Structure 1
Amino acid sequence: MPHPLSFLSTRAAKAVRGLLDVPDHAPSDYPFAPSDIAALHRATLAGGAQVDEQTWQDLMLPDCLERIAPGARTSLFGRQWLYRALRRQDGRERGLYADARALNGDPTERERQRAALSCLRSADIEVYERIAEDGPPPVLPWARWVPVPPWLLLVSLASAPWFPVAWLGVFVALVALMWFNVAQHSTIELARRRGHALAMLLRAKVRLDGDKEAAALNRALSPGVLDLAPMTKDYREWVLLAKVKHYLRWRRRVHDNRAVLRAAYNRCARAEAVLALALYIEGERTCAAQEGELQLDAVRHPLLAAGLPVSLALHGKGMFISGRNGEGKSTLLRTVGLNVALARGLGFCHADAARVPALPVYASLRNDDSLLDGESLYVAELRRARELLAAPAGLYLIDEIFRGTNHLDSVSSAAAVLNELAARGPVLVSSHNVILAALMRHRLDAVCVERGRDTVELRPGVLTETNGVPLLGAAGLGGAVLANAQRVQGWLARYLADPAEAERVLAPPAQPLASTPLTAAPAAPA
């Protein structure tokens, strides 16, 4: 619960705080759990575009959020606001970027807001779900008995000289007092931490806007000076149950003033989100994102300091991406996904210019087998494909689709799933199975990733010169092994680059193709 002097910060006030045993809460980097940071999003979850959990992890969005709003300079409340904006992907918070740029244009106002909001970082507990609760608070059956033990003790002590049986009442009263103080200690301590967090919200609201209603509520939620005085503090808590009574009053006032507390939260959390974003973009090359078909000019990965820029644009189709090992196919997909998520959630990209579709982004980049769940890699990939097909239409980013099974099943399953996804929204997929480029030519434009010294280029077509076979020699597998591998590779490359009739298999056929059995036909009888 907040202290009556928690809104003071002068040297004199600190001296008084020390005299009255009021702790001075300095800003800190408290290690909040991911569930705490997600509390606002969870409490306000509604319909609309959402980033699912696998996309959130595959695109490394938690790391991106930590870079934008590190705990060393941003409180839980600002991080909760940014988390919800990134997770919702509905475009509601795209104005954060414009506000952040405006704040950077006024250093005096930025410093004022930074000073006003600095107290929020001393909060060490999540409170939004508490003030967002609807309906009456849960009933505490023991609350009605709180006034009884102090009066029983007083009456019993006064009667004991004349009625020795009154000592039994003294004993009962002391046991009851001990129960209230011990049994409710953890509940009251939790309320104290929540009270401090709410006090910091109200204090920041007063500093930002001079809000008199917030100031009055902060005083009403605070304990009295007598409750903090060293001479009477312990006596009042243990004998008169002052701490328990204050907790009950605080609980009722918080419930009755939830609207004021939510308004303070919304104002301060958004202001701190804007401040965090302003400090972040000050040292970054960013641009405002426009809506339209995907086009990113000189886009960069926000988490790679040495990442190379790449430009790409879709022209009515998705994109099939091939490239040599280590050229950056997976990095390209994450670069696109992170920037689209930032554009949809916060309104900006790490690029020179950007257009992004008004669609949620879905990623399938890191499917793995699970020994604990008894799920093989291919089964995990099938589960993810089912999730993508069941979700609302979006932008799909898929890396090495169906790599967990044999080549024949992989190509067949991948072509079928990609054909369905590409009919719903733009697809960017990378794969070493270049035959997919021909099979999906009616849905996807083929590009090959080539890394240069200063940039990454996407040239039309598929990969023709791989580096997997040359690595045999580097690994000590030269001689006949390397020579034979090169012979087979040359033949496969010529065939897979443009196999006859491949593009007609899934495209709207002019005429049906005859199926080819996978097993040899039985020999004719002699």
Structure 2
Amino acid sequence: IEFELRKINSIFTHIEKFDFGNRQNLNKFTEPFKKEDLKPSYYMRRIKNLLASANIQTNPAVWLLTNAIFPWDFFHGYRLKKYKAQIAKILPIWLERFYELEALSSLANFAWLNENYIFPQLLEKEQSNQFEFIQVGHPLLDVNKKVNNDFGMVNNDVIIITGSNMAGKSTFLRTLGVNLCLAYAGSPVDAQVFRTKMFRLFTCIRVSDSVTDGLSYFYAEVKRLKALIDELQIQDDKPLFFLVDEIFRGTNNKERLLGSRAYIKALTGNNGLGFISTHDLELVKLADEIDQIKNYHFRDEVIDDKMIFNYKIQEGPCPTTNALKIMKIEGLPV
């Protein structure tokens, strides 16, 4: 116990003694570490001394003689229980403030490491635009290689993104998701302009099967997509922002197309907006039936038997495919 207390005491003592100067918010935030009757060092020092005193058990002769004269173990057990009751009230406060301070430090470090990032602008609920992103990129991609994109949305639309393999569909969805998470956490984002309303976020990306639960990939995806429908039915001031990567890819072509058409139609007309990537080019026809559905795509070119991608999102359905081209380049029979 003493060893574990020593580790946590070093952290709490550092916060307790650190001088935050005239930073009023930080001084107020760390008050539970600095008030005389709440200081961690006050309690930790007494518990440490108590445990050291109780450590005479390591010397059997001294321990036996002491307990024969005075109820040494009983006394120290009683004192430890008393300190435990006192700390039980304030330890959750210390830990909660420490956890939040650690998270804020991580965000501050992220901002310092990425000085070219900008802080997002949160739009009021009454404003017409849902969001506007200019030159938004994924923070984990190499700055010398990544391609940033522009995108904006006024209405609660459902965007179908088509495109060839490796063209950038999944990366674009992740780019939007991770930057929204950063924005709502109070962090800078990888963009030149980032204006957005407050959304509830929901993703169906990298769904996996489970041997232990007896779930196939397709069934796991169905359960996740059902959860998305349920979230859309919730009455909330904040619309749902959803990202679905390669919908129903775990089943055959015919049923995937029929299921995807019915599902995407069900997403429209609700308190939500989002993006769905797919390889099923037949789904782009939904935009002709429902105004709320829009088509965008990523495209590729083959030049001298090499795949060339520009990773720029463009309006309309994808005019190219590349599966057979990739197979041929890698020497597979086509």
Structure 1 spans left out of the alignment, 5+ residues:
1-190, 482-526
Q: Could you say which residue in structure 1 is the equivalent of 2:244?
A: 398
2:171 aligned partner: 331
Distance 1:228 1:203, change over 3 A: farther
Q: Normalised by the size of structure 2, how large is the TM-score?
A: 0.73
Preserved CA contact (<8 Å) 2:147 2:312: no
**Alignment partner of 1:277 is 2:98:** no
Task: Summarize the Cα distance change of 1:200–1:419 in structure 2 as closer, same or farther, 3 Å threshold.
Answer: farther
Using the alignment, how far apart are the partners of 1:196 and 1:451 within structure 2?
58
Q: Which residue number in structure 2 is paired with residue 318 of structure 1?
A: 158
Q: CA deviation at 1:401?
A: 0.4
Once residues 154 and 177 of structure 2 are traced to their aligned partners in structure 1, the CA distance between those partners, rounded to angstroms, is 18
Q: Scaled by the length of structure 1, what TM-score is found?
A: 0.49
Q: In the alignment, is the contact (CA less than 8 A) between 1:389 and 1:421 conserved in 2? A: yes
The residue that corresponds to 1:217 in the other structure is 43
Tell me what 2:317 maps to: 462
Counterparts in 2 of 1:225 and 1:390: CA distance versus 1, 3 Å: closer
CA contact (8 A) 1:322 1:449 kept: yes
Pick one of 184, 188, 193 that aligns with 1:344. 184
Match of 2:199, SS state, is coil
Pick aligned residue for 1:235 from 43, 51, 59: 59
Q: Which residue of 2 aligns with 1:303?
A: 140
Structure 2 counterpart SS, 1:282: helix
- Distance in structure 2 (CA, Å) of the matches to 1:266 and 1:477: 57
Structure 1 residue corresponding to 2:16, chosen from 193, 206, 229: 206
Cα shift readout 1:293-339 (whole Å, capped 9, x = no counterpart) = 13222122122224322222123123111112111111111111111
Q: Please, what is the CA RMSD of the aligned residues?
A: 3.2
Percent identity reads 23
Structure 2: give runs of 5+ residues left out of the alignment: 20-33, 124-129, 302-307
- Once residues 299 and 117 of structure 2 are traced to their aligned partners in structure 1, the CA distance between those partners, rounded to angstroms, is 24
Deviation at 1:357, TM superposition (A): 3.1
Question: Whole-Å Cα distance in 2 between the matches of residues 268 and 217 of structure 1?
Answer: 17
CA distance in 2: counterparts of 1:434 and 1:474, whole angstroms: 23
**Match of 2:152, as an amino acid?**
A
Q: 1:425 — aligned with what?
A: 272
1:437 matches 2:284: yes
CA shift in 2, pair 1:252/1:369, >3 Å: same
Distance 1:297 1:396 in 2: 20
- Native 8 Å contact 2:135 2:150 kept in 1: yes
Q: Residue by residue, what CA displacement relative to the aligned partner does 1:158-177 show, whole Å, maximum 9, x if unpaired?
A: xxxxxxxxxxxxxxxxxxxx
Q: Residue in 2 aligned with 1:288?
A: 119
Between the aligned partners of 1:428 and 1:195, the Cα distance in structure 2 is 49
Check if 1:471 corresponds to 2:326.
Answer: yes
- Name the SS of the counterpart of 1:206 in structure 2: helix
Is contact 2:121–2:195 with CA below 8 Å preserved after alignment?
yes
| C-alpha separation in 1, matches of 2:171 and 2:43 | 50
Q: CA deviation at 1:340?
A: 1.1
Selected match of 1:264 from 94, 104, 108: 94
Change (3 A) 1:234 1:364: same
Aligned residues of 2:182 and 2:188 also touching (Cα < 8 A): yes
Is the contact made by 2:54 and 2:76 (CA closer than 8 Å) also made in structure 1? no
Q: Which amino acid aligns with 1:399?
A: D
Structure ID, larger Rg: 1
CA separation of 1:225 and 1:409: change in aligned 2, threshold 3 A: closer
Distance 2:197 2:51 in 1: 58
Structure with greater strand share of residues? 2
Q: Is the 8 A contact 1:296 1:351 kept in 2?
A: yes
* Residue number in structure 2 paired with 1:134: none
